[in-house]
């Protein structure tokens, strides 16, 4: 039989290839996706309609079409995207010319490459499980190709057993083989798709756009006690320049070397921060970071910047103090943090005078302003009204409805109107505690803006006007499950049944998030630093010791598997052979022992010579055995008769 024409093998192979390519729908242009599945569908139909297979000319035209498609989406000949598209196109075209068993092997190996390429785009636990499954199906395809009687379930079972047996060896190699660092091979990496995140500037409503997003930004695992919610400010870009509507970073950051030395007080918080891939090199440390990884640097505004590729998930060890003093104010800082695009309007001046901003101490004016926000008819909402012109005045005197960015911008503007140095700080605030994994999850919905004011003898001090309007936002954060139409946040109690269902869903999500966190930290982020840390905990400090451990562990696993394979208990045999063995044991009592290579008929003929009085019974039992074991027309009643005749046979 020609295995390349076996319908069962082809169906199994084509189905597994369809499963392998499907996840790439998010990674390749839809034109490539349609072209591949068009070829796959054509090949499927050709299993039952062999005459529909394309001839050489048509295969050539399809190849030319694939090349034209590749050229139309050309992104070079190297790299993740270019390579993936090339392999998928080649796989689809190769399906159209399956003629020999060699073609089946080539397609299967090519499919393994396409399956592995998915990890260049996504490394989640679910995707890992899916690729493991399709790899098992591919391996089962190889089993069916080499089987005389292809059976899907038997092939899958065999493939699964092979994978299970190989896992210990794979784990050992994963743990001990030196890790390949990204800079050595990332030359051909394409940047990942831009993720929505915190912007580098702030306009009315710019941060509120993130307020309804549940997308994960980073996770934090503290070594000791967690800081209280009101101190969980994760520092990002500092915005000092404004044109009256937009707030942005200053372009000149060179004054950082003239800053005073930080004075850190109180309890230090040590933690590990796992950043999700993003499109900017920002690391959001707990305010104020004091100790951090060597791959990070702190700019003039105390924001941490990574020197590594931000598109890759990264882990950092940090220490922060929530009580600190930044020291004196430089001339550059004073100029940048008192800048206004034009003199304040009469309304602004009047409000500052009303709150004694010109004739009272700075801190007293700050409290007056916070009380003004608290006592007047100001409201906190994720969907404030549009303020196209004069957003500060419109917010302060007309709408009085806004998100954290509105309050922070208005607060800083009024500080500067009173000639007090102030600036806007953006980042994240709060975070949800994952009870299962005991770590904080900070999402885009936690994006926040607050203010910093420079005070004599205290340095830059944080003030959050949002806390004056919506203290529950700071203490409890934004739960996207509690958002109601219109962008408001509902903290009202829900019914017992609804709350129980919500709690159950949250616990399930937290459990899965914990599993994913462990996967990301100990598998995906198992780089040379984490490897060195883990191996050092085992007393492995050099390459020589590591090689000894690896060879010794592999030898131990090999010996164990060999023992299991060689000395494991004999598998349960089928009932036909078990009954026949009972028959042979009865004959053995008379010295008739069946040889290892002796057939049933030959054994029966030899037994008839020794026991001619039992010849008819021996021949009948032997005929039933051959019919049941090798025949095609055996019936259930034949097995029952076989068992009865052997049971009654006595000599």
Q: What string of DSSP letters covers 410-467? A: HHHHHHHHTT--EEEEEEEE--EEETTTTEEEEEGGGEEEEEEEEETTTEEEEE-HHH
- Mean pLDDT within 163-176: 85
Question: Which range (306-315, 414-423, 491-500, 548-557) has the least confidence?
Answer: 491-500
What is the DSSP annotation of 172-227?
HHHHHSPPPPGGGTGGGPPPPPPPP---SEE-TTTTGGGTT---EEEEEEESSPPP
Taking the C-alpha atoms of residue 110 and residue 28, their distance in angstroms, rounded to an integer, is 17
Percent of the chain with pLDDT over 70: 88
Residue 278 φ/ψ, nearest 5 degrees:
-145, 175
Quick one: DSSP state of residue 228?
P
Q: Do 259 and 203 form a contact (C-beta atoms < 8 A)? A: no
579, pLDDT greater than 70: yes
- Mean of per-residue pLDDT scores for the chain: 84
Helices 636-648 and 575-588, interaxial angle, to 10°?
A: 20
The set of residues, in sequence order, having a beta carbon less than 8 Å from that of 503 and lying 6+ positions away, is: none
Residue 6 reports pLDDT greater than 80: no
Taking only the tens place, the pLDDT of each residue in 15-46 is 889 999 999 988 888 988 899 999 999 998 98
How far is it, in rounded angstroms, from Cα 130 to Cα 23?
9
1 pLDDT tier (thresholds 50, 70, 90)? very low
Mean of pLDDT values over 443-450:
91
Q: Which residues of 392-411 are buried (b: 16+ CB within 10 A; e: fewer)?
A: bbbbbeebbbbbbbbbbbbb
DSSP per-residue codes, 298-332: E-TTS-EEESS-TTS-EEEEEEEEEEEE-----HH
* Pairwise CA distance, residues 527 & 334, whole Å: 43
* Distance set, CA 45 to CA 65, 96, 191, 330 (Å): 21, 11, 39, 76
**Partners of 275 in the beta sheet?**
218, 314
Q: Helix or strand or coil: residue 54?
A: coil
Query: Does the pTM exceed 0.75?
Result: no
Q: How far is CA 528 from CA 181, 293, 549, in A?
A: 7, 15, 17
User: Among 62-71, 169-178, 354-363, which range has the highest average pLDDT?
Assistant: 354-363
Q: At residue 182, does pLDDT exceed 70?
A: no
The pLDDT tens digits for 60-106 are: 998 999 888 887 876 556 678 888 888 899 999 998 888 888 888 88
> Do strands 201-202 and 379-380 pair parallel, antiparallel, or not at all (unpaired)?
unpaired
* CB hemisphere CA count around 607 (13 angstroms): 29
Closest CA to 270 of 218, 317, 306: 317
pLDDT one-digit tens code per residue, 195-211: 556 888 888 666 656 65
What's the whole-number mean pLDDT along residues 580-593? Answer: 90
15 C-beta neighbours (distance < 10 Å), count: 15
Give the C-alpha separation, 564 to 436, whole Å: 38
Cα–Cα dist 437/519, whole Å: 12
pLDDT at position 603 is 92
In this structure, are strands 379-380 and 401-402 parallel, antiparallel, or unpaired?
A: parallel
State the pLDDT at residue 383. 78
| 371: its two tokens | 């009380």
Dump pLDDT digits (tens) for 293-345.
888 999 989 999 998 888 888 899 999 999 999 999 988 899 999 999 999 99
- How far is residue 467's CA from residue 231's CA, in Å, rounded to a whole number? 12
Question: In which region does residue 313 sit, left (phi positive, over 0), alpha (psi from -120 to 50) or beta (all else)?
Answer: beta
What integer pLDDT is reported at residue 319 of this predicted model? 96
Q: What is the pLDDT of residues 517-569, one digit of tens each?
A: 888 888 877 777 778 778 888 888 778 888 888 888 888 888 887 777 666 54
What mean pLDDT is predicted for residues 129-154?
82
Q: Poorest-confidence range of 220-224, 364-368, 401-405, 516-520?
A: 516-520
State both tokens at 342.
């034009």
In this prediction, residue 629 carries a pLDDT of 84
> What pLDDT is stored for residue 188 in this prediction?
45
Q: How confident is the model at residue 3 (pLDDT cuts 50, 70, 90)?
A: low
Q: In angstroms, rounded to a whole number, what is the distance separating the alpha carbons of residues 12 and 140? A: 9
Q: Please state, in angstroms and as integers, the Cα–Cα distance from residue 431 to each residue in 221, 276, 278, 469, following that order.
A: 12, 15, 18, 19
Q: What is the mean pLDDT of residues 374-380?
A: 89
195 and 277 Cβ atoms separated by less than 8 Å? yes
Nearest alpha carbon to residue 121 among 593, 524, 594: 524
Q: Give CA–CA dist 296/298, Å, rounded.
A: 7
Which strands form 304-306's sheet, in the order they lie side by side? 282-283, 304-306, 296-298
The span from the CA of 482 to the CA of 499, in Å, is 11
pLDDT class of 503 with cuts at 50, 70, 90: confident
Three-class SS of residue 240?
coil
Using the predicted structure, report yes or no on whether residue 193 has a pLDDT greater than 50.
Answer: no
Domains in the chain: boundaries: 3-176, 201-482, 528-567, 575-648
Q: What is the pLDDT of residues 459-485, one digit of tens each?
A: 999 999 998 887 776 656 555 554 444
- DSSP-derived 3-state class of residue 265: strand
Tokens describing residue 632: 């095609």
Distant-in-sequence, close-in-space partners of 233: CB < 8 Å, separation ≥ 6: 286, 287, 427, 428, 429, 448, 450, 462, 464
pLDDT, position 239:
94
Residue 591 clears pLDDT 60, i.e. is over it: yes
Reported confidence tier of residue 448, pLDDT bands at 50, 70, 90: very high
**pLDDT value, residue 569:** 47
According to DSSP, the residues that pair with 221 across neighbouring strands are: 272
pLDDT attached to residue 181: 58
Q: What is the reported pLDDT for 478? A: 58
Give residue 260's pLDDT: 74
| CA count, 13 A, side-chain hemisphere, 161 | 9
């Amino acid at each position: 039989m020609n295995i390349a024409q076996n319908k069962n093998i082809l169906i199994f192979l084509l189905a597994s290839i369809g499963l392998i390519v499907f996840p790439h729908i998010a990674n390749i242009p839809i034109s490539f996706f349609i072209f591949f599945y068009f070829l796959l569908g054509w090949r499927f139909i050709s299993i039952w309609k062999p005459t529909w297979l394309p001839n050489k000319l048509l295969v050539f035209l399809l190849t030319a079409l694939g090349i034209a498609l590749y050229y139309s989406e050309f992104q070079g000949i190297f790299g993740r995207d270019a390579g993936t598209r090339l392999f998928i196109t080649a796989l689809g075209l190769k399906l159209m010319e399956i003629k020999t068993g060699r073609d089946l092997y080539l397609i299967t190996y090519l499919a393994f490459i396409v399956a592995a390429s998915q990890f260049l785009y996504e490394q989640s636990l679910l995707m890992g499980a899916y690729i493991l499954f399709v790899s098992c199906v591919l391996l089962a395809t190889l089993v069916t190709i080499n089987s005389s009687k292809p059976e899907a379930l038997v092939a899958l079972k065999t493939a699964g057993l092979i994978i299970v047996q190989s896992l210990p060896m794979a784990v050992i190699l994963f743990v001990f083989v030196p890790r390949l660092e990204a800079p050595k091979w990332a030359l051909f990496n394409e940047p990942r798709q831009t993720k929505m995140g915190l912007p580098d500037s702030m306009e009315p409503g710019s941060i509120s756009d993130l307020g309804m997003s549940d997308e994960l930004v980073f996770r934090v695992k503290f070594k000791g006690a967690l800081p209280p919610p009101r101190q969980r400010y994760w520092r990002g870009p500092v915005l000092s320049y404004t044109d009256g509507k937009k707030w942005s970073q200053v372009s000149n950051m060179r004054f950082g070397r003239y800053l005073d030395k930080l004075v850190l007080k109180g309890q230090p918080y040590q933690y590990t921060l796992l950043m999700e891939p993003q499109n900017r090199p920002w690391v959001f440390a707990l305010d104020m970071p004091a100790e951090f990884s060597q791959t990070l640097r702190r700019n003039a505004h105390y924001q941490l910047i990574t020197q590594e590729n931000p598109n890759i998930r990264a882990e950092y060890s940090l220490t922060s103090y929530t009580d600190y003093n930044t020291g004196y104010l430089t001339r550059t800082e004073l100029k940048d943090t008192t800048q206004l695009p034009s003199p304040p309007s009469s309304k602004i001046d009047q409000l500052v005078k009303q709150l004694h901003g010109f004739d009272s101490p700075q801190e007293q004016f700050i409290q007056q302003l916070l009380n003004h926000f608290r006592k007047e008819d100001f409201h906190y909402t994720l969907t404030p009204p549009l303020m196209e012109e004069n957003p500060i005045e419109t917010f302060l005197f007309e709408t009085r409805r806004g998100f954290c960015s509105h309050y922070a911008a208005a607060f800083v503007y009024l500080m500067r109107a009173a000639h007090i140095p102030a600036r806007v700080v953006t980042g994240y605030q709060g975070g949800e505690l994952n009870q299962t994994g005991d770590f904080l999850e900070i999402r885009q919905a936690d994006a926040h803006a607050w203010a910093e004011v420079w005070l004599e003898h205290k340095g830059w001090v944080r003030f959050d006007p949002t806390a004056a309007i919506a203290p529950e936002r700071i203490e409890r954060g934004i739960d996207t499950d509690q958002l109601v139409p219109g962008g408001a946040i509902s903290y009202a109690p829900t019914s017992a049944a609804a709350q129980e269902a919500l709690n159950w869903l949250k616990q399930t999500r937290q459990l899965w998030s914990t599993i994913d966190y462990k996967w990301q930290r100990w598998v995906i982020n198992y780089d040379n630093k984490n490897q060195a840390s883990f191996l050092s905990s085992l007393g492995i400090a050099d390459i020589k010791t590591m090689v000894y451990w690896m060879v010794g562990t592999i030898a131990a696993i090999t010996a164990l598997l060999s023992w299991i394979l060689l000395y494991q208990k004999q598998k349960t045999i089928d009932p036909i052979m078990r009954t026949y063995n009972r028959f042979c044991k009865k004959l053995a009592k008379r010295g008739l022992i069946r040889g290892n290579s002796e057939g049933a008929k030959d054994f029966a003929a030899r037994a008839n010579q020794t026991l001619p009085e039992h010849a008819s019974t021996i021949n009948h039992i032997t005929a039933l055995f051959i019919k049941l074991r090798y025949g095609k027309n055996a019936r259930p009643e034949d097995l029952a008769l076989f068992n009865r005749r052997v049971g009654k046979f006595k000599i």
